[in-house]
Amino acid sequence: MRRRLAMPYKEGILKREDLFITSKLWCSDHNPTDVIKALDRSIERLQCDYIDLYLIHWLVAFKKDALGFAPENFAPLDIKATWAAMEQCYESGKARAIGISNFSVEKTKDLLSHCKVRPAVNQVECHPHWQQKKLVPYLTSEDIHFSAYSPIGSSNSSFAKINVLQLPIITTLAEKYQKTPSRIALRWNVQQGHSVLPKSTHADRLATNIELFDFEISKEDLHEFDNIEQHRLLSGEGTFVNDTTSPHKTVEQLWDGDL
C-alpha cells in the first residue's frame, strides 16, 4: 500500500497557494479515459483540490499498467485524443494549466496545429552542456514557457557521461563569484529566463540550490557558455526508442534530428 505523504499545507506549515505543484501524465495513461483518472490519482495522493500544471511526460504510449520499456509494452499513440483529454483536465479546473515535456520543435508545432488549449510549458533537459539552442527561440516565439529539468546535469545519474559541475567554465565562475558550481549552473539557466527543477536528496543542498537571486553572472561571462560543447544526456536510447513498437525508431526521430 502507498504511504500517505505528509503535506506541508495539511500540517499548517504553509498554504496550498504558496506552492506551485506540477504533475505529469505517465505513458501508460495516454488512453483518453485514463488521463483524467490519472490526474485524480495525483490530486488524491497530493491531498489537494487542484494542481497548478499537468504535463504529458513523453510522446510515447504504453499499454495500461505496463512496467518498464520492453518493446511489448508500447502501444499506439493518438496524441490528438490524449491532448483533448488534457484539455478536459484544464476545463475541469483540476489542472490550472496544461503542458508538455520532451517535445521537440517539430512535435510542438504538430500539437499547436490541432490544439484548442495551447500548452503553457514545455519541460525539457537543459543545462550548460545541453542548452537547447534550437528549442529555446522557438518556444519563446510561441510564448510557451521553457522549464529546465536536469538543470545541474543530473550529476549522479548513469546517463550523465560528463559532469556539468566540473566543466572548467563552471568551476572558474564558482571561484570568481564565490558560489557553489551548482548555483552557477542554475543561475545560468535562470538568466536565460527558464524555470529550473533541481533535485537533491540532501537538505543542505536543497537549501543552497534555491539561493539564486543574490548574484548575477555578467554578460561577458554568459558569453563564455556559448563555447561549451553540446550533448544531450537523456537521449531516450534504451528507453523510449526502439525499432519496432515505439513511434520513435531512432534517437534522431525522437528529437527530430536536434541532437
Output the known binding site for substrate. 57
Q: Are the CB atoms for 124 and 149 separated by under 8 Å?
A: yes
Convert residues 190-229 into a mask of x (bound to ligand NAP by CB under 6 A) and - (unbound): -------xxxxxx--x---x--------------------
Distances in whole angstroms, Cα of residue 212 to Cα of each of 15, 201, 221: 23, 19, 16
CB atoms within 10 A of CB 179: 19
The letter for the amino acid at 138 is Y
Binding site listing: 57
Give 89 or 240: the residue with its C-beta nearer to ligand NAP: 240
Name, in order, each residue with C-beta under 8 angstroms of 252's C-beta and a sequence gap of 6 or more.
259
Binding flags for ligand NAP, 103-132, as an x/- string (CB under 6 A): --------------------x---------
Please enumerate in sequence order all residues whose Cβ is within 8 A of that of 176, keeping only pairs 6 or more positions apart, or say none: 221
# of chain residues touching ligand NAP (CB under 6 A): 24
Among 82, 122, 132, 150, binds ligand NAP (CB under 6 A): 150
Which one of 36-44, 109-117, 128-136, 146-154 is the stretch in contact with ligand NAP (CB under 6 A)? 146-154
Pick from 28, 89, 32: which is nearest to 55 by CA? 89
Which position among 156, 171, 218, 230 is part of the footprint of ligand NAP (CB under 6 A)? 156
Quote the CA–CA distance of 177 and 212 in Å, as a whole number.
Answer: 12
Residue 182 binds ligand NAP (CB under 6 A): yes
Residues within the interface to ligand NAP (CB under 6 A): 57, 101-102, 123, 149-157, 165, 180, 182, 197-202, 205, 209
